[in-house]
Structure 1
Amino acid sequence: MATHAPRSTVELDCLAPASPGVWQRGRTIVRRDTSLPTRSVTAYSEDRRIVVRHNLAARHLADSLVDSVTSVVTAAGGGRAEFETAMVGLVRTTVDDPHEAWATFYRNSLAELLDGTAAFAPVHRRAADLTTGSVLDLGSCFGFFPLQLALADPDRSVIATDVHRATMELLARTSRRIGVPVVTRACDAADLPFPDGMVDTVTALHLLEHVDHGTGMRVLREACRVARRRVVVAVPYEAAPELCHGHVRSFDRASLHCIGSELGVDYIVFDHHGGWLVIDVG
């Protein structure tokens, strides 16, 4: 199953001041420890805290850390909040300058997506093939998909959106730093502040598993309203929702057909590293 850094339910203070090599938020503390083997990440529970220790170098910072960090944090008794803090902490404790830390994470993650070594690369490639014209991406989180579209065609109109303003500010700032600026907008995907038919394609990649059915249907109706031509939806197939990543429901092919039928639109469903629902609206 392809994975990527999950969306947060809270505003993460990704650029907040911190002591070099240490990041602590809530009950999670992350420390850089050069006595550990290179590239290692460990976690354990101590006095009701989750302690994460690592010896990562700048070249190791990438979205591909998600799987290993999920494993060690879950084994230590942590949940979603601890996982999210751990991921941010790994970035911030590996490179001391916060802006360069995030630029490094973005550069490395994009490189892995573009060379196909990232687990999520096949999803982004298929989504890019399905888009046409201008694109509005819903629930962009770190914004790797909009960045790839902008990198492939700098003249293409691409807007990244997410409900969390701090996440969009981080994306806007970091995209300029790495030389691939993207337009960002903090907004609720279930109540979009855009006019009817504003863009050619609306994408929602691994967003619906983070919201309940009613909210998901509002998201899709808004997407159909704003799209002139197509809505592209991708979801993971899971036996049970991945709670550590903030998933609240799971999907299979039949559930995607039910959603399409409930919307009352022309649609297709297919499988490719998860499930896809593609709606042609015009």
Structure 2
Amino acid sequence: MSTPTLLRRRYVSKSVVVQQSSVPPGYRRNSLLAWAHDETGTLDIRHALTTDTISDALMIGELVQLVNAGVLSGQQQFEDAAIGLILTCGDSPDSCWQAFYKNSLAELESGRSPFAPIHRRALSLLRGSHVLEVGSCFGFFALRAAAAGFNVSACDISPGAVTLLGTAAGHLDLSVHTQVGNAVELPYPSDSADTVTLIHLLEHLTDQVDVAIDEALRVARRRVVIAVPFEEVPSPHFGHHQQLTSETLVTWAAHADHRGARIFTDHGGWLVLQPPCV
């Protein structure tokens, strides 16, 4: 597999080319993005996003429009396009990522992001002082929990995502203890965090969901908080593999060793578990 390259606000991967530029003749426009296929069939996306405008919600909204138009397909191409938009919005990768984090957190805090209600509910469910976010991805929730005064740890299976989160936390002067880790084999001792969160993680697993929940219960002293999207069809571009319902959460709770479960709906499904030691 070829390594993506970045040069003069032009990002090239195996599946997509992304460039900050004016729109050439013959390109089709879809909201803020324009696109065409080059002579090799590679998707070429042009945009005018800058460090003032780039954000997670804006980026995802624009790319989902391309998915719905049949232009983007699959998780890898979606992720390549997303990284391309971020890295071509400014003069350097560091300035691009700093702007992406700053603007995305501002969207979440103001409520303008579609994910803001999920963060708001998750923050309200935290108990104790030490929070572990499992499957942190970019780590927006971990950063917001740290900003709210919690002692936060975060792990993700992607080393790149863990590095980005650690760097962002440093730029924002927030303390987040990051570590590469798999949800089905968490690199933490038993009873080492008050609350363990799995926010929009389990829909990415094809199996071993019960193992991931058991691991979270092992590490949590007081509470495990699980949130999942309810979709009519799982979104392959987001890497979702399961269609989940309230009945799914009931089944997960029935399979887990816990001392209490609460299931409810709020912008998706929620399962809150008390570890057996509580």
Change in Cα spacing, 1:29 to 1:126, as seen in structure 2 (3 Å) is same
Matched, 1:148 2:144: yes
Residues 182-229 of structure 1: per-residue CA shift (max 9 Å, x gap): 2101011100111110010000000000002x3211110000000001
Residues 114-136 of structure 1: per-residue CA shift (max 9 Å, x gap): 01110000001110110112100
Which has the greater radius of gyration?
A: 2
After TM superposition, the score normalised by the length of structure 2 is 0.90
Q: Which amino acid aligns with 2:43?
A: I
Alpha-carbon separation, structure 2, partners of 1:166 and 1:57: 23
SS at structure 1 position matched to 2:273: strand
Change in Cα spacing, 1:72 to 1:32, as seen in structure 2 (3 Å) is same
- Residue in structure 2 matched with residue 99 of structure 1 by the alignment: 94
Correspondence for 2:254 among 261, 272, 279 = 261
Gaps of 5+ in 1: 1-9
Q: How much does 1:76 deviate?
A: 1.3
- Residue in structure 1 matched with residue 157 of structure 2 by the alignment: 163
Alpha-carbon separation, structure 1, partners of 2:66 and 2:35: 6
Q: How much does 1:262 deviate?
A: 1.4
How many residues in Structure 1 have an aligned counterpart in Structure 2?
A: 265
Q: How much does 1:77 deviate?
A: 4.4
- Residue in structure 2 matched with residue 88 of structure 1 by the alignment: 83
After TM superposition, the score normalised by the length of structure 1 is 0.89
Q: Which amino acid aligns with 2:124?
A: D
- Residue in structure 2 matched with residue 19 of structure 1 by the alignment: 7
Alpha-carbon separation, structure 2, partners of 1:17 and 1:30: 11
In the alignment, is the contact (CA less than 8 A) between 2:55 and 2:103 conserved in 1? yes
Change in Cα spacing, 1:267 to 1:167, as seen in structure 2 (3 Å) is same
SS at structure 2 position matched to 1:174: helix
In the alignment, is the contact (CA less than 8 A) between 1:203 and 1:231 conserved in 2? yes
- Residue in structure 2 matched with residue 72 of structure 1 by the alignment: 66
Residues 94-118 of structure 1: per-residue CA shift (max 9 Å, x gap): 1121111100000000000001110
SS at structure 2 position matched to 1:255: helix
Q: Which amino acid aligns with 1:245?
A: F
Matched, 1:40 2:32: yes
- Residue in structure 1 matched with residue 190 of structure 2 by the alignment: 196
In the alignment, is the contact (CA less than 8 A) between 1:62 and 1:106 conserved in 2? yes
Q: How much does 1:48 deviate?
A: 2.5
In the alignment, is the contact (CA less than 8 A) between 2:214 and 2:257 conserved in 1? no
In the alignment, is the contact (CA less than 8 A) between 2:199 and 2:227 conserved in 1? yes
Two-structure CA RMSD over aligned residues (Å): 1.9
- Residue in structure 2 matched with residue 272 of structure 1 by the alignment: 266
Alpha-carbon separation, structure 1, partners of 2:86 and 2:135: 21
Alpha-carbon separation, structure 2, partners of 1:86 and 1:132: 37
Structure 1's consecutive aligned runs of 4 or more residues displaced over 6 angstroms after TM superposition are: none
Alpha-carbon separation, structure 2, partners of 1:49 and 1:70: 18
Q: Where in structure 2 are the equivalents of 1:175-254 lying within 5 Å?
A: 175-212=169-206, 214-254=207-247
Select between 44-53 and 93-102 the one with higher mean Cα deviation. Answer: 44-53
Q: How much does 1:35 deviate?
A: 4.5
Residues 221-276 of structure 1: per-residue CA shift (max 9 Å, x gap): 00000000100000000011101110000111111111101114321110000000
Q: Which amino acid aligns with 1:267?
A: A
In the alignment, is the contact (CA less than 8 A) between 1:99 and 1:174 conserved in 2? no
Q: Which amino acid aligns with 1:211?
A: L
In the alignment, is the contact (CA less than 8 A) between 2:133 and 2:153 conserved in 1? yes
Q: How much does 1:180 deviate?
A: 2.4
In the alignment, is the contact (CA less than 8 A) between 2:23 and 2:46 conserved in 1? no
Matched, 1:138 2:126: no
